[in-house]
Amino acid sequence: MTTHADDLTQRIGAPVELAGVAVRRPSKVREGIDPALITTDATALLKRGDIDIAIEVIGGIEPARTLITTAFEQGISVVSANKALLAQDGAALHAAAEAGGRDLYYEAAVAGAIPLVRPMRESLAGDKINRVMGIVNGTTNFILDKMDSTGAGYQEALDEATALGYAEADPTADVEGYDAAAKAAILAGIAFHTRVRLDDVYREGMTEVSAADFASAKRMGCTIKLLAILERAADGESVTARVHPAMIPLSHPLASVREAYNAVFVEAEAAGRLMFYGPGAGGAPTASAVLGDLVAVARNKLAEATGPGESAYTQLPVSPMGDVVTRYHISLDVADKPGVLAQVATTFAEHGVSIDTVRQQGKDGEASLVVVTHRAPDAALSGTVEALRKLDTVRGVASIMRVEGE
């Protein structure tokens, strides 16, 4: 048996040496790391003059951004796991890498250990990706899976996720979809060879998803997932990027992604439908992705070459959410009297939205209407909901959820 360092040496073609580790809390005991390597001055480490590759796993915008830029100025290639920074400033960082003739690799930033960045930017480099749809946040998938399997409400499922270490003390970045939106921006840029920033991604969290929504989903043969969906418009002239909860049929492969696992569907013109599945987070899986990048960057260094950089030549614009074509599942509380359905149906028709199915339930003068639409632009669908809210006979809109995956 060889040791792990020996394996890296064999695979790279030269030994790699850990030159230093910058941290915030120098006194913390770190097993297996020589204390002499620890420093709190990351900048000094980068400027030491004998560093070839820096691994950035600090997270957040600053000081990560400045440190990465410093690395490129020093001729140091960078491996990063920082989705927030890449989604916000990817273009500038790629430009800095290119200016310095160095690599910027970030497989770990999207879907943890699942090889996704490399397959999309290398394996599919001769193909045309039209659509990407995936579960890219493990915390929210764990919560939604619990709600689905136990009938628990959102808060109860979140508490369990927190107790088990699947959710952080402040779960905002996960449950409000910021984390997934950052990954969506990165993947959209790679998929469509254009620039997509975090702000371009439509984002809806999953804190409003209720046990009642799951009951509705079940009646439709569906479950609910927080999805990142990236699409090329039918005319090929623009793209859309969005993160929101959606109902998907139980027969869809993404429906059976359980617990904190991630999975991403990629549809390409020639390759067809591919799926990538695995652990989307966690220390060891993330380390696997980081080390894979390290080997690639070290090999490039030895060959005095760089790997593929940013590819944004298509310059396709990102269209707003209103242009996305999707389907809605809408639950309405309505007055239980004749003519209500006709009124509701007229409202849909006036907005050019065609209805797929309606289910009507009534008791004690109250009734509910559940409407599932055919595909229509999101703007027309949300316009319909606005108009429905104004109808006398509609007491309230109990829930709205998009339906995907058919």
State which amino acid sits at residue 397: V
Which ranges of 267-404 does DSSP label H, i.e. alpha helix? 283-302, 340-350, 378-390
**At closest approach, how far in Å is the CB of 180 from its own copies?**
20
The DSSP output letter for 85 is H
Cα dihedral 386/388/391/393 (nearest 10): -150
Picked from its own copies, ligand NAP, none, the partner binding residue 273 (CB below 5 to 8 A depending on kind) is its own copies
Whether 183 sits among the annotated catalytic residues: the reply is: yes
- Identify what 256 binds: ligand NAP, its own copies, none; CB under 5 to 8 Å per kind: its own copies
> Nearest approach, Cβ of 171 to ligand NAP (angstroms)?
14
d(CA 223, CA 231): 22
Residue with tokens 């439709």, as numbered in its chain: 220
Our CB check for ligand NAP shows the closer of 108 and 257 to be 108
In the complex with ligand NAP, the residue whose CB is nearer, 161 or 401, is 161
In this complex, which beta carbon is closest to ligand NAP, that of residue 113 or of residue 340? 113
Least Å distance, CB 250 to its own copies, is 11
Closer residue to its own copies in complex, CB, 54/367: 54
Check 183, 301, 337, 363 and give the catalytic one: 183
What is the C-alpha separation between 46 and 52, in angstroms, rounded?
9
Residues at the interface with its own copies (CB under 8 A): 1-2, 4, 7-8, 10-11, 107, 113-115, 118-119, 122-128, 193, 236-237, 253, 256, 268-279, 282, 284-285, 287-296, 299-300, 303-306, 308, 311, 313-314
- Residue with smaller CB distance to its own copies, 185 or 296: 296
User: What is the C-alpha R_g of the chain?
Assistant: 24
Q: Which ranges of 100-233 does DSSP label H, i.e. alpha helix?
A: 117-118, 138-150, 154-163, 172-175, 178-192, 211-219
Minimum separation from the CB atom of position 42 to ligand NAP (A): 5
Which residue sits closest to ligand NAP, CB atoms considered? 59
63 binds, among its own copies, ligand NAP, none (CB under 5 to 8 A by kind): ligand NAP
Q: Kindly tell me which of 25 and 363 has the beta carbon lying closer to ligand NAP.
A: 25
Decide which of its own copies, ligand NAP, none touches 124; Cβ closer than 5 to 8 Å per partner kind.
its own copies
Interaction partner, residue 108 (its own copies, ligand NAP, none; CB < 5-8 Å by kind) = ligand NAP
CB of 26 to ligand NAP, least distance (A): 7
Q: For residue 63, is the peptide bond before it cis, meaning its omega torsion is within 30 degrees of 0?
A: yes
The binder of 292, among ligand NAP, its own copies, none, by C-beta within 5 to 8 A per type, is its own copies
User: Interface residues with ligand NAP (CB under 6 A)?
Assistant: 22-25, 28, 42, 57-59, 63, 81-83, 108-109, 112, 281-282, 286
Q: How far is the CB of 161 from ligand NAP (least distance, A)?
A: 14
Catalytic site positions: 183
